[in-house]
Structure 1
Amino acid sequence: MSKLARDHRNADLAKIHVAKKQLNMSDADYRAMLWTQGRVHSSKELDFAGRRSVLDFLQRMGFRPAPSKTTKRPSRPTPSADALPLVRRIRAQLISLDRKPDEYADGIAKQMFGDAAPQFFEWCTLGDLHKISQALGVEQNRKGAVAR
């Protein structure tokens, strides 16, 4: 089983157990529901179709999954209007460099400006954004990436 499939399976099993708790199901009711929906005695025995069937049944019974309280990735800040063209240019340069993530530019800012660098490159001053763009331009030339 691939890591992605295992992660989806574990997420589905977690939702099933949260639903059991949210609906205040007794253990006997839970086991009976597993047997009628998936013909299994334990949720770990469910295949993909069985997990879908159980989750659909639990949602029909009133289970509403709560949205995640924490995200794995912080959202990127919105740059100021005067910095927007430079931020777009930096993102275009990152795309030309084999689709590097925005965190790559954050790392360049941290390396260039040390502890004075903000957490996100979008928060840099216009002069600092120019320097980041120049550094990415040098990297584009070195790798032979298309620079427009």
Structure 2
Amino acid sequence: MKHFLMGVAAAGLALTPAGAQESRPQISLESARTMQQACLDYAAEHDLGVAIAIYDNAGILVAYSRMDGASLAAQDLSQWKGQSAARYRSPTQRSADWDMPNLPHIATIGGGLPIFDAEANPLGGIGVSGAPVAEDIACGMAALAAAGLTSERPTG
């Protein structure tokens, strides 16, 4: 009987709803693809060859593209920037000023932007590389605007 009750208790724990865990808003694949396409369009309009990496708020890659003609280094750099922005919830242009180059996955060059929704929920990060830093940032900003998202945590 003792073993039976332990089994029932264990089964009850296994059936505990996952809702008991904290549920956080996530970036949808649809939003990631909208952002990806907007950045690709921006880059094409400005004759740039870029790589784009979009991460969720856990630092997991959701979407990636590398344009024809983009350097191979842009692949790694876009992923580095996007993951850093997602993990630290800060633009990589800003994290470069932290003078903490040994933090894991921290990017120290502009082109990575955190992603927030209108309710100030962190959704992830986008990294763009392959163009001059100002253009990488502008491409990322165009991506966020197309999806109705922002790189700054809204206040108020």
TM-score, length-scaled by structure 2: 0.26
Q: Which has the higher helix share?
A: 1
* Structure with more contact order per residue of length (Cα contacts < 8 Å, sep ≥ 6): 2
Q: Which has the higher strand share?
A: 2
TM-score, length-scaled by structure 1: 0.27
